[in-house]
Structure 1
Amino acid sequence: MSVDPEMRDALLAAVPGLRAFAISLSGQVDRADDLVQDTLLRALANIDRFERGTNLNAWLFTILRNLFHSEFRKRRREVEDPDGSLAGRLQIQPEQGAHLDFEDFREALNKLPADQREALLLVGASGFSYEEAANICGCAVGTIKSRVNRARSRLAALLAVDGVEDLGPDRTTRAALQTAAL
């Protein structure tokens, strides 16, 4: 089977977004890479089913999402580590504040219900419109909007973000920077 160069380039251009989505779903880089590879293989095997002129990324993200859910059902017997405590004991904790903030964000993201996390990642991180995310998830646009809104509110509460001033450096760092500027 041969794929025309334009389609090949479009598939390759989708890989970074697919990988980011797969990492956010699985929480493991190795599994995410496997998911992306399986997604591309399945897409290539079924390329004749793709309707040219429609959204290739949405089609690929739907394949990846379906593969993830199928794999999740198969892996139920594996040891789960939803709060990251096991993984936390196996790795060196980062020393830089940004890494700690990212870990806090990741933990908060993992505390969201799966449907809210998925909707937020599709719309907020992957850049899909509400309509495209609804098609990928197989639900109504209003449902996606509601899930994204609830996810954003819950994340803000979990991270104790009350406003824009809570983003970026903490108060102590801002004070030190202001003092240094004087």
Structure 2
Amino acid sequence: MDALVSEPVSQTVHAGIEAQLPALRRFAQQLTRSASDREDLIQETVMRALRSSHQFHPNTKLRSWLFTIMRNSFNTEYRRRCREPVGLDDGLLERASIMAPQEWAVRRSELRCALRRLPPRSRRTLLLVAMGVSYIDTARLCDCEIGTVKSRVNRARKKLEDDIGRPGAQ
């Protein structure tokens, strides 16, 4: 029985939406600034109304129902846009966050001096791991156990941190 009641209501909604388009355009103009956003909002409202036409109650004003759908669509899109980061020029963030070349030169010099102060075995082990050699292969190359490699790397990192500090912490 509900299907019989909702069928004429659905047809009424479909017919009434076209008559309400000028009012929807005026309301969308109050909500949005750009013409393309306005058209998108109207289209989204009509699509949602058509999808939900079976939920329309005959004793409700169609115009009010459509305006509620439009306002909810606008609010949903507004919240979504607030969560999205604003587009930036490609590479702008990288260019803005890179230290000046002089600072890099100073840091490189500090690192070289600190590496020279490490014991030769620890220095070799740390450099192998830093270059991407696995702990197992480093253990084979240094002729020691994998646990020794891990200990050497850990002690060397701590020594470097004590000597020159953490990168970026100033």
Please, what TM-score do these two structures have when normalized by structure 2? 0.42
- The higher radius of gyration belongs to 2
